[in-house]
Amino acid sequence: MNKILLIIQREYTTRVRKKSFWIASLLVPILIAAIYAIPLYLFLNSNDTKTIEVVDESKLFKGKLQSEEDITFKFIETTFDQAKKNLYKGNADIVVSIPKDILDNPNGVKMVGKKSIGLSTQFSIQGKIQNELRNIKLQRANIDLKVLEENKVNVNAKTYTLNEDGGEQSSSSTGAMILAGIFGMILYISAFLYGSQVMNGVIEEKSNRIIEVMISSVRPFQLMMGKIVGVGLVGLTQFLLWGVLTFGASTATTAIMSGKIQEKVETLKQSGAGSDEIKKYQDSVKDTNPLSSISQTIENISLAKIIICFFLFYIGGYLLYSSLFAAIGSAVENASEAQQFMFPVTIPIILSFILAQVIIQKPDSPIAFWASIFPLTSPIDMMVRLPFGVPNWEIALSFVLLVFGFLGTTWFAGKVYRVGILMYGKKPTWKEISKWVFYKG
């Protein structure tokens, strides 16, 4: 037992000391924070106003295209060609030409920019022209705009799920989907990442030829399990760091940004905007933060349950797959040889990731049920299903089967490993590997 601890310690410390571990631990939270902070930053700092000159040959739009914070429209009387010539020297950024026959030919609008025209600018100009064009057409068809406006109704249903004691529980399926997607990705990536770390560790020991010294001191099974557990702990450490750092980074971003948001709200108030408008603005800020709808979902299904399930299924799934990867590593002599054997092991991982997409769409379908029960797919698929609400007995059944699953694979892997690590020279076939299982001591 003491020896296993020594092995775990070595496997853990040598990996945690590597630069690559710390780079990955820091980079991921920074990336996540950036994904959240950059759109927010851009949103808050979109003050760059573009001047747009409009050559309106149809004479329909003058005074009707409303200037906004970031776009100022200026109607000019010159020809389009002349305006283009002036564009270089002038202050305008974009020249828009609206043809005479715009009503019959809505595709005739042209835009010329000093620099290339950004998509959002293009869409916002197009949108304004389109709206105006529609209004004109409606008017011509004698439809009163006011009546139309009054008849626009917004339906905003709130969704609830029935909970076990008959009460209502609000459910946010967007949050659940995002959360499920995150779980799926983490478990999918970690199965490959840490599984192949175990495999490469075994290959390293074999190709370094230290394996013979090692197994004259410890039993092969101890060495294999020590490596698997050590790498698994590295994975858990990494998750912990990711969790803490991501939380820290996004809190920090929010703190920095909130001042700005407040400022904006103030200016909106001063410019006489109604409370509706301010609320709309605050909501749109909220929308850029993906964590908000997730945290709502998490509240609904209990944070503790999610964390416990995540660790249980991570550990179970990791043990199941990494022992198979260890067996592969023991059978080959270098990473390129391993490819051929990795294929059958990676299929169920990829399959469970594909099934995860189905589960997110239909979390209560039979396929979702079976995928989250079957040990080879359950680690990923149960976690994906969890945010949508899964009965406790299903979770328990799935986990018990997973335990049997990894006991089975570690037994199998141990048998293969013990023979494989001493085999040099020839590339084994699947048939031979399956024979190793029945070799004596």
From CA 189, how far away is CA 24, in angstroms rounded?
13
45, 216, 275, 336: residue in contact with another protein (rule CB under 8 A): 216
158, 209, 426, 431: residue in contact with another protein (rule CB under 8 A): 209
76, 193, 215, 358: residue in contact with another protein (rule CB under 8 A): 215
Interface with another protein by CB under 8 A: which range of 162-170, 201-209, 318-326, 366-374? 201-209
From CA 223, how far away is CA 11, in angstroms rounded?
10
User: Whole-number minimum distance, CB 266 to another protein, in Å?
Assistant: 57
List helix spans (H) across 332-438.
335-361, 366-371, 378-385, 392-420, 430-436
What is the number of other CB atoms lying within 10 angstroms of the CB of residue 179?
A: 25
- Give the per-residue contact string, 375-414, with another protein (x = CB under 8 A; - = no): ----------------------------------------
From CA 385, how far away is CA 366, in angstroms rounded?
12
1, 8, 10, 146: residue in contact with another protein (rule CB under 8 A): 10
Label residues 46-83 b or e (16+ Cβ within 10 Å = b).
eeeebebbbbbeeeebeeebeeeeebebebbeeebeeb
30, 42, 143, 213: residue in contact with another protein (rule CB under 8 A): 213
299, 422, 430, 434: residue in contact with another protein (rule CB under 8 A): 422
**Which amino acid appears at position 72 of this protein?**
T
Nearer to another protein, 93 or 205 (CB): 205
From CA 41, how far away is CA 34, in angstroms rounded?
10
Number of residues that bind another protein (CB under 8 A): 23
Residue 93's Cα: distance from chain center in Å?
37
From CA 224, how far away is CA 323, in angstroms rounded?
8
16, 76, 218, 233: residue in contact with another protein (rule CB under 8 A): 218
Nearer to another protein, 57 or 204 (CB): 204
Nearer to another protein, 158 or 209 (CB): 209
Long-range contacts of 22-27 (CB under 8 A, 24+ apart): 24/238, 25/238, 25/241, 25/242, 25/245, 26/245
User: Whole-number minimum distance, CB 330 to another protein, in Å?
Assistant: 14
Q: Cβ distance 55 to 76 under 8 Å?
A: yes
Interface with another protein by CB under 8 A: which range of 143-151, 208-216, 324-332, 372-380? 208-216
Side-chain half-sphere CA neighbours of 126 within 13 A:
12
- Decide if residue 140 touches another protein (CB under 8 A): no
- Decide if residue 259 touches another protein (CB under 8 A): no
- Decide if residue 20 touches another protein (CB under 8 A): no
User: Whole-number minimum distance, CB 289 to another protein, in Å?
Assistant: 42
- Decide if residue 208 touches another protein (CB under 8 A): yes
Binding site for another protein (CB under 8 A): 3, 6-7, 10, 14, 204-205, 208-219, 422, 435, 440-441
